[in-house]
Amino acid sequence: MKLSEKKRIDILQAAEQLFFESGVEHTSMDQIAAKAGASKRTVYNHFTTKDELFKAILNNMLAKINHGEVIHFNEGEPIDQQLISIAEQEVAMLTAPDFLRLAKIAFMQMLQEPQLAKSLSNNTMGCMTYLEGFLEQAKKAGVLKGDELNVAAKQFVYQLKSFVFYPLLYGFETAAEQQNNKVIEQTVSLFLAKYKA
């Protein structure tokens, strides 16, 4: 690895740590340079603005997140078991330390920069990359019903987020306090009560 590439990684890691601890607004390029063991000039050679550095960190962190494998609808398997598998995969992503770290950094910055929320909401992650297609296939097979399956997909994921992700993000609960299996079972039951054919 070239020295300049190693220095870039050092800068990204230093900035990620400081942004996580203090937020983007309360972190200076001087602090980032000091933590990375680099000169301020070196930091600016790699990233011309703090905003550019912040975006590089978000992209870097998003690339590290395990979004799980795409689960395809299987006509020969009970729909509740398939939805449980999807929910388990989603909960694993939502509660992963890397994902929570990214979410905290992004959330603090969204309070300062509301347009960031729009750009992040366009970045589909986890099961939202395939869930609507899965539900369409299940509907074609006569297993599910409903006209707005894009809304159904969001209802499914937002239910999980409400009980699993946000309590961790805001510090209302710890991972040890959560009853994720119960949340998954209830989410699937509620979903099927409305959408099962």
Q: For the segment 119-173, what is each residue's pLDDT rounded down to a tens digit?
A: 666 557 889 889 999 999 999 999 999 989 999 999 999 999 999 999 998 888 8
Mean pLDDT, to the nearest integer, of 16-28? 87
Q: Is 107 left (phi over 0), alpha (psi -120 to 50) or beta?
A: alpha
CATH 1.10.357.10 residue spans of the chain: 65-195
CATH 1.10.10.60 residue spans of the chain: 3-58
* Residue 144 backbone phi and psi in degrees, to 5: -120, 160
Find residue 144's DSSP bridge partners.
196
d(CA 17, CA 15): 5
pLDDT at 144: 96
pLDDT at 21: 86
Look over the chain and give the mean of its residue pLDDT values, rounded to a whole number.
88
Instruction: Name, of 21-35, 51-65, 114-128, 137-151, the range with top average pLDDT.
Output: 137-151
pTM, full prediction: 0.81
Residues 59-64: contacts with CB under 8 Å, at least 24 apart? 60/12, 60/16, 61/16, 61/98, 61/101, 61/102, 61/105, 62/102, 62/123, 62/125, 64/98
Task: Calculate what percentage of the chain has a pLDDT beyond 90.
Answer: 51
3-class SS string, 77-116:
CCHHHHHHHHHHHHHHHHCCHHHHHHHHHHHHHHHHCHHH
The continuous run of DSSP H or E covering 9 comes out as helix 3-22
d(CA 23, CA 33): 16
pLDDT at 22: 86
pLDDT at 186: 96
CB 136 within 8 A of CB 66: no
Q: Which fold has domain 3-58?
A: Arc Repressor Mutant, subunit A (1.10.10)
pLDDT at 123: 59
- Superfamily the domain 65-195 falls into: Tetracycline Repressor, domain 2 (1.10.357.10)
